Structure 1
């Protein structure tokens, strides 16, 4: 099976998805660019096609409204896009963090390339951290990712990672993520994105205040079942039970993670609490959910259906402390 990840690098312990080349800390961006497989450029060429004529070799025509994007190193094609498509280069994703790492105390932890170059990202720890009761530590991160095939806008995503289990969660309040998205018909301005993000301490503090509330909110067994059914089965524990429960495997797995099988599920912050419910779902999505490979699971957990499930779980958990 072809790997979804082309190449990636990381510092510190092996990342939650278990992939990549390890680097020592405080490496310059130029080293990251090489080791993360991001030392190439996206180039473009006009779209041409051949029309077949009977008795001839055919003739070559151009289609000026679109262009082919391809890699400068391998010449491999990446996508066909409109001429209005604004390309963001792999180097630009890393350069986004230059002043943050050199001046603001951020530290790059992972960076890499997905789907042969169609999608790439970098993730940096912000230096923000909080401990919930029982020394359940949560660190702040900033993820920047983009694509060159139209599947993902250039997106800056404030994220948390729970240390004990490496569960990842997008910072979101009142049902709205704090992600900043720049569509590919708009030029990517890194300084404008940072200004819009605010790289704000208040945003982190407000979110973690809610997470502390989740760790204090005790839940009954019926509440836990209702939570899991709502998040995974689009139904409620008070609804009539169907003959065949949708997502039966997922329900069984998150229940077992919540009831003691999950990493950190026995900590005071998680045992029998709304925080425990949320982390049972995030651990399932990040580490246990069925996927073709670890690479596909990572892509889903950050950008796809897995991210949607985690957002739904967060919304449902915050509803319990509203």
Structure 2
């Protein structure tokens, strides 16, 4: 199944919860009020512990060797093996410790709003999103970007603990990753000795999110006042989505007929979103540099097709293609604001 949510056979429920709104897969628990961290753990089916034991190897002679370098991880509630081969230095960060990280951001949990959480596969990967009690406002305040913290970690040795600040525009659910300007607000922690301690102090790094969001608010408000033409919007889209130097050189020469059909179709889809989407008709977005930027991020969030939800998450939040293209769009808009239309016009 594309959603890959963990199914708990004992309770007959999926390990996922969401506040008020159903997810696209329609599974898990929908709650009306924002839960505490302890409640969220229960709702999301994350109330299980992980343990680690040494692997045992049976030799042809019948002798059994207990490894001192190869271990496996498993859930203590159902003894499901999650990782079959992790090193002796692999340290477990329990689910409740991941939630403690969120509570530490705002001091004891006051103000943190848990939006979604869940487990994937057999419970080897978990994810949590929480909303911070503040906003980015563009224009007269009608265009609001909420501020979210996203965290994911694995229990099978396949990846690090990752937390990132992610603003999302309410109007079109347009994900804007705050690492567009700096990766300092993205925290990655390896499952080694001291991981728990580093996670506990990570909120100090994530505290930069408030400073960064204030900077973004000023930038976006300035962009909302900068007028751009339709042709400039299309050129920005082309440059932001450009896949390689060869395509860049063709764009620079304005050799439109020589561009690949796939690339032209992608640009056309993003440009159509820029011109026709309801969220692009606001005073802050219609014919503005801010709207041009949102044309790129909105395309990846609302138009582009993905293999499944995990692929979309990877692309938009976890450093994939969408995040890289949004970074490029951000840089182009910053240059346009400083230099003017020359940034898009080569001829």
- TM range, smaller chain: 0.7 to 0.9
Structure 2: where are the runs of 5+ without partners? 7-14, 339-347
Q: Which has the higher helix share?
A: 2
Native 8 Å contact 1:16 1:167 kept in 2 = no
Q: Quote how far apart the aligned CAs of 1:36 are.
A: 0.9
Match of 1:66 among 70, 78, 84: 70
Q: 1:71 and 1:206 mapped to 2: Cα distance? A: 43
Match of 1:229 among 228, 238, 247: 238
Task: Please give the TM-score of this superposition, normalised by the length of structure 2.
Answer: 0.80
Q: What does residue range 218-297 of structure 1 map to in structure 2 within 5 Å?
A: 218-234=227-243, 235-236=247-248, 237-239=251-253, 240-241=255-256, 242-260=258-276, 262-297=277-312
Q: What does residue range 140-289 of structure 1 map to in structure 2 within 5 Å?
A: 140-172=147-179, 174-176=181-183, 178-185=185-192, 186-189=194-197, 190-198=199-207, 201-234=210-243, 235-236=247-248, 237-239=251-253, 240-241=255-256, 242-260=258-276, 262-289=277-304
Alignment of 1:81 onto 2:86: yes
Q: State which drifts further: 203-212 or 60-69.
A: 60-69
Q: Quote how far apart the aligned CAs of 1:136 are.
A: 0.9
Native 8 Å contact 1:170 1:177 kept in 2 = no
Match of 1:48 among 56, 60, 66: 56
Residues 21 and 302 of structure 1: is their aligned pair in 2 closer, same or farther, counting only changes over 3 Å? farther
Q: State which drifts further: 263-272 or 220-229.
A: 220-229
Count of residue correspondences: 317
Native 8 Å contact 2:185 2:208 kept in 1 = no
Q: Quote how far apart the aligned CAs of 1:9 are.
A: 1.0
Native 8 Å contact 1:65 1:83 kept in 2 = yes
Q: Quote how far apart the aligned CAs of 1:256 are.
A: 1.1
Q: Quote how far apart the aligned CAs of 1:248 are.
A: 4.0
1:34 paired residue number: 42
Residues 93 and 175 of structure 1: is their aligned pair in 2 closer, same or farther, counting only changes over 3 Å? closer
Q: Secondary structure at the match of 2:3?
A: coil
Q: Quote how far apart the aligned CAs of 1:264 are.
A: 0.6
Q: 2:273 and 2:18 mapped to 1: Cα distance? A: 27
Q: State which drifts further: 95-104 or 161-170.
A: 95-104
Q: Secondary structure at the match of 1:37?
A: coil
Native 8 Å contact 1:215 1:274 kept in 2 = yes
Structure 1: where are the runs of 5+ without partners? none
Residues 299 and 38 of structure 1: is their aligned pair in 2 closer, same or farther, counting only changes over 3 Å? farther
2:345 paired residue number: none
Q: 1:150 and 1:274 mapped to 2: Cα distance? A: 43
Native 8 Å contact 2:18 2:115 kept in 1 = yes
Q: Quote how far apart the aligned CAs of 1:205 are.
A: 0.8
1:4 paired residue number: 4
Task: Please give the TM-score of this superposition, normalised by the length of structure 1.
Answer: 0.86
2:328 paired residue number: 312
1:111 paired residue number: 117
Q: Quote how far apart the aligned CAs of 1:4 are.
A: 2.1
